Amino acid sequence: MVILTLLVMLGVMILLAFFRSSIWGWLLAMVVFVFIAAIQSKLSADLFQVATIVLAVIVAVLGVPSLRRLLVSSQILKIFRKILPHISQTEQEALDAGTVWWDGDLFSGHPDWRKLLKYPKPALSAAEQSFLDNETETLCAMLDDWDITHVRQDLPPQVWQYIKDNGFFGMIIPKEYGGLELSALAHSAVVAKLASRSITASVTVMVPNSLGPAELLVRYGTLEQKEKYLRGLAQGKEVPCFALTGPFAGSDAGSIPDYGIVCYGEFNGQSNVLGMRVTWEKRYITLAPVATLIGLAFKLYDPDGLLGGQTKLGITLALIPADTPGVRAGRRHFPLNSAFQNGPILGQDVFIPMEYIIGGIDRIGQGWRMLMECLAAGRSISLPACATGGVKLAVRTCGAYSRVRKQFKLPIGKFEGVEEALARIGGNAYLMDAARTLTAAAVDMGEKPSVISAIVKYHCTERARTVVNDAMDVHGGKGICLGPSNYLGRSHQQNPIAITVEGANILTRSLLIFGQGAIRSHPYVLKEIQAAQDSDEQRALRDFDTALLGHISLSLSNAMRACLFGFTGGLGLSVPAGEKTRRYYRQLTRFSAAFALAADVSMLMLGGNLKRSEKISARLGDVLSQLYLCSATLKRFEDDGRPIEDLPLLHWAIQDALYKIQIALDGVLHNFPSRFAALLLRALIFPRGKYLAPPPDKLGHQVSVLLQQPGAARDRLTAGMYLPNDENDAVGALDAALHSTLQCEPLQARVNAAHKAGQVTALGELMRIAEAHQKGFINSEEAQLLERDHELQRKVIMVDDFAPEQLAAGSNII
């Protein structure tokens, strides 16, 4: 009877957890449990009466809003205000920027997978596809990365002109101002395709369409500013840059020392013009050496009260023509042998009129918020696209090279060590492209996903580093010798640039992803903080009480769900149909509940110290990130029509991510400051222990085989990259060599068998082919195929060599 009662109680709690019951549901359950316990234990009348009174008091206090607020919520609110960490103005503006999208579902512990899958499949318009297939394809064909990065250290003049003439600087500018007005998905596709050919060209096109003058003008510019500048930017008559980072303000960009003083001055021959004298020193500014229009962030002060308000006006953004007296630019940085234009830009007491402020006087002091709002969307597009384009190049070339290159009489791709690297390359590429596409689609749906943008920026660039490192290992000597035939070396050199910019990855992982997500994406935390900051005490208490009750109910629900699904692996959950994917949706739901629970307990136990517990925050961010990356991967598989050929890629990507979630949660628990809380969480999150494993070797083998042979899956994996149809091009020759190798393998086997039997005795490969032809083992056409195959193999495995004078400093004779 006791066991039956316990099972009934457990069943009630499970139902409450499943349906995210309100506090009333949990209180009702408490009443039921007490009465059942009384009956089971046969309490005396007096004891039962006492238990009933105690329970009635608890129910009255918690169940009657006025009593609960007076006796419970008001006290918790006082404690909450004490432990709430100080939030600076720049942090607050970062939190207020952007929107909450799918990250909100993941943070709730109750992700609605059917809602995710109902989002329309991302697709380019006919005009956008045409731009990708024609103008972008033509631009890629014009690019010789060795010439760009070694000989010129710049794009050729004809490439610069083509970029300007064909609207590449105006991809995000509305058509009414002469721009292309591409969707975020198309913008991403263009950057990715260029990145598969030349990082320099990709960055040159990416920057004017990312955080900078064009986007700031489109969002915040006055009508006069839009008319004055947007058409010139769209037509390439103006080359923009945006100057934010300086020697003393890198990742902490809000601490910029650059300043402007409101004053009267002379401008364009007119005296007594109200404006600002601005002084700045910026560095790492892409396109600064060639820019004609500078976007500038600085702190504005009004010591004489000329604007009639406060003295410290805050971060302000202005547009300054590069030929303005006092502006100094033109020198270049040299970031890891990349040739995109990047350098310092300075100004000393540069007088500019008020009309140069982006958005006019009304936007004074709003600069940081403007930047954060733009970054919330912009970071979702450019860097993930650039990283993914480079990874697609690695996928295509590594697969082909592993099949063509032979050692010990076997293609190197058949060796298990190489297979392991190829599996990582393929699985990461599949997941990265899924995340890039889904995130760009979210922006096109009107979202400004600040937390998700940090996730994709960090993980796409980090995984790109992993992929390129693996690709270099696979290529061996071919990868390390720079020259015209090396298609990987520059990517290997330049990958740390993407790791560093738009929020260094260490900072992004340890502070931004969970730090912002815990407040921004959580269903209740931001509401609790806003209530705590409200100066109206009655409204603050009412709103805090409502949010607190929802928070408690959600936490109880997630605790039950995490434990139950930890036991069952999510068995019984209603998830989208699909025999091959059902278990993944269940495990992800389980981990979403576990993550939400761990996040709540971390915030409760650590309070304001969580902000400084960067390693705990980073691991929780890892869990949230992997949940999102898995979501994107499953959405891609569904949008592609569940192709069976892609299953090895899907399985590898999801299993790798699930294993990383398990590791991250275990790391949180192992290092949690409160050992009691850690033990309790471990019992709830891992009731069966840690039973997930990384992708098995057999699965890695399947992925590596997929990369090494032409087919629909390989083409989908590298769709959108530039594929030169020219055997004189290093990448084009490699693709041709792969097809030739597969075609000639049966012929090569015949020649090898004759040689092994002593019927063909020539030593050199070409002489052996000739002897085999002469003795009738192969015909003339087959001999020609083998000779061409040998030529292609030699072409793709050879590396460049130079005369000493060609490598001398300043040499441009290669």
Which residue numbers are catalytic?
A: 502
Phi/psi for 261 (5° steps) reads -115, 125
* Measured distance CA(231)–CA(179) in Å, rounded: 7
Question: Which residue, 371, 315, 324, 331, is CA-closest to 352?
Answer: 324
Rg (C-alpha) for the chain, rounded Å, is 31
Residue with tokens 């990356």: 629
Strands 240-243 and 293-301: parallel
Q: With beta carbons less than 8 A apart as the criterion, state whether 490 and 513 touch.
A: no
Across the strands, what pairs with 314?
300
The CA distance from 598 to 624, in Å, is: 11
Nearest to 744 by CA among 396, 406, 397, 393: 406
- 20-28 contact pairs (CB < 8 A, 24+): 20/110, 20/553, 20/554, 20/557, 21/553, 21/557, 22/549, 22/553, 23/62, 23/63, 23/549, 23/552, 23/553, 24/63, 25/553, 26/553, 26/556, 27/58, 27/59, 27/62, 27/63
Question: What is the CA angle 55-18-543, rounded to 5?
Answer: 65
- 8 Å CB contact between 608 and 83: yes
State the DSSP H helix or E strand holding residue 260, giving kind and residue range, or none if neither. Answer: strand 259-267
Residue 509 DSSP code: I
Contact between residue 517 and residue 451 where contact means Cβ atoms under 8 Å apart:
yes
Separation CA 122–CA 130 (nearest Å): 16
What token pair was written down for 42? 């046969």
CB distance 668 to 619 below 8 Å: yes
Say how far apart CA 204 and CA 333 lie, in whole Å. Answer: 15
Q: Regarding beta strands 240-243 and 312-321, do their DSSP bridges make them parallel or antiparallel, or are they unpaired?
A: unpaired
Q: Count the Cβ atoms, other than its own, within 10 Å of residue 735.
A: 23
DSSP letter at 577 equals -
Is 256 in contact with 298 (CB distance < 8 Å)? yes
Bridge partners (DSSP) listed for residue 293: 240, 321
CA distance 465 to 479: 15
In sign, the C-alpha dihedral spanning 187, 189, 192, 194 is negative
DSSP state of 289: G
**How many other CB atoms are found less than 10 A from the CB of residue 808?**
10
Question: Which residues, 6+ apart, have CB-to-CB distance to 704 below 8 Å?
Answer: 402, 413, 418, 419, 422, 423, 426
Give the span between the Cα atoms of 56 and 50, in whole angstroms: 10
The answer to whether the CB of 196 falls within 8 A of the CB of 188 is no
- The torsion angle over the Cα atoms of residues 125, 129, 131 and 132, rounded to 10 degrees, is 140
Task: Residue 462: name the closest of 419, 506, 514 by CA.
Answer: 506
d(CA 656, CA 696): 10
- Residue 361 near residue 307 (C-beta atoms within 8 A): yes
Show the tokens assigned to 385.
């696209």
CA neighbor of 369 nearest in space, from 224, 220, 585: 220
Are the C-beta atoms of residues 766 and 783 closer than 8 Å to each other?
no
